[in-house]
Structure 1
Amino acid sequence: MFRRAWPFLLVAVLALQACGTPEHTKIAATSAGTPECPDTGFDCDLQDRFAQVETYIATRPGTVGIVVRDRETGAVWRNAHATDLVWTASTIKLVMVVDLLKRDRDSTITLTGEDHDLIARMLHTSDDIAADELWTRYSGDDHTTFNKAFPSYGMTSLAPQEGYTDTFPYWGFQKCTTDDLDRLMTHVLADMDKNDSTPVLEAMRTVGEEQQWGVWGAGPAAHPGNKDGWSEEDTGWVMNTVGFVGPDERYTLAIMNDLHRQGGYQEGRDTDTEIARLLFNGRF
Structure 2
Amino acid sequence: MRQRRRDLTEPVTVIGVAVAALVAVVVVLQSVGAAGVATAQRPVTTTAVPPPPPTTTVVAPPTSTKATVPADIQLATAVYDLRENAFVSRSDEDQPFAAESLTKLLIATDLAAAGKLTGDNLPRVQRMLSTSDDTAANQLWTADGGPQIVSRAVRSMGLKRTIPPRDPGRWGDTSTTAADVVRIYQHIVTTMPAAQRDVLLADLATTARAADGTNQDFGITAALPDGEWWAKQAWACCRPAWDVHTTGLVGADRRYVVVALSQQPVAGGFGGATRVMTTVAKNLVAGLQIQHQVVGGA
**Common fold: TM-score over 0.5:** yes
Cα offset, 1:208, TM superposition: 3.3
Counterpart Cα distance in 2 of 1:25 and 1:220? 16
Higher helix share: 1
| Equivalent residue number for residue 113 of structure 1 | 119
| Equivalent residue number for residue 135 of structure 1 | 141
Match of 2:78 among 67, 72, 77: 67
Structure 1's unaligned 5+ residue stretches are 1-22, 27-44, 105-109
Counterpart Cα distance in 2 of 1:186 and 1:241? 16
Cα offset, 1:60, TM superposition: 6.4
Match of 1:87 among 94, 98, 103: 98
SS in 2 for 1:254: strand
Match of 1:234 among 227, 234, 239: 239
Cα pair distance change 1:55/1:144, threshold 3 Å: closer
Cα pair distance change 1:207/1:153, threshold 3 Å: farther
| Equivalent residue number for residue 6 of structure 1 | none
Match of 2:161 among 154, 157, 176: 157
| Equivalent residue number for residue 100 of structure 1 | 111
Structure 2's unaligned 5+ residue stretches are 1-55, 210-214, 293-298
Cα offset, 1:206, TM superposition: 1.6
Matched-pair contact (CA < 8 Å) for 1:91–1:241: no
Matched-pair contact (CA < 8 Å) for 2:76–2:262: yes
Cα offset, 1:182, TM superposition: 1.0
Cα offset, 1:113, TM superposition: 2.3
Counterpart Cα distance in 2 of 1:160 and 1:269? 26
- 2:198 pairs with 1:198: yes
SS in 2 for 1:116: helix
Counterpart Cα distance in 2 of 1:116 and 1:222? 22
Cα pair distance change 1:115/1:62, threshold 3 Å: same
Match of 2:271 among 239, 249, 266: 266
Cα offset, 1:263, TM superposition: 3.2
SS in 1 for 2:277: helix
Cα deviation 1:150-188 (Å, max 9, x = unaligned): 1123433112332xx5xx264122111111111111111
Higher relative contact order (CA 8 A, sep 6+): 2
Counterpart Cα distance in 1 of 2:227 and 2:283? 13
- TM-score of the two chains, using structure 1 as the length reference: 0.73
Partner AA of 2:94 in structure 1: T
Match of 1:250 among 255, 267, 285: 255
Cα pair distance change 1:267/1:147, threshold 3 Å: same
Matched-pair contact (CA < 8 Å) for 2:79–2:284: no
Counterpart Cα distance in 1 of 2:219 and 2:158? 21
- The higher radius of gyration belongs to 1
Partner AA of 1:50 in structure 2: T
Counterpart Cα distance in 1 of 2:261 and 2:66? 14
Runs of 4+ in 1 over 4 A off after TM superposition: 281-284
Cα offset, 1:62, TM superposition: 1.1
Partner AA of 1:192 in structure 2: M
Counterpart Cα distance in 2 of 1:73 and 1:79? 15
Matched-pair contact (CA < 8 Å) for 2:147–2:164: no
| Equivalent residue number for residue 188 of structure 1 | 188
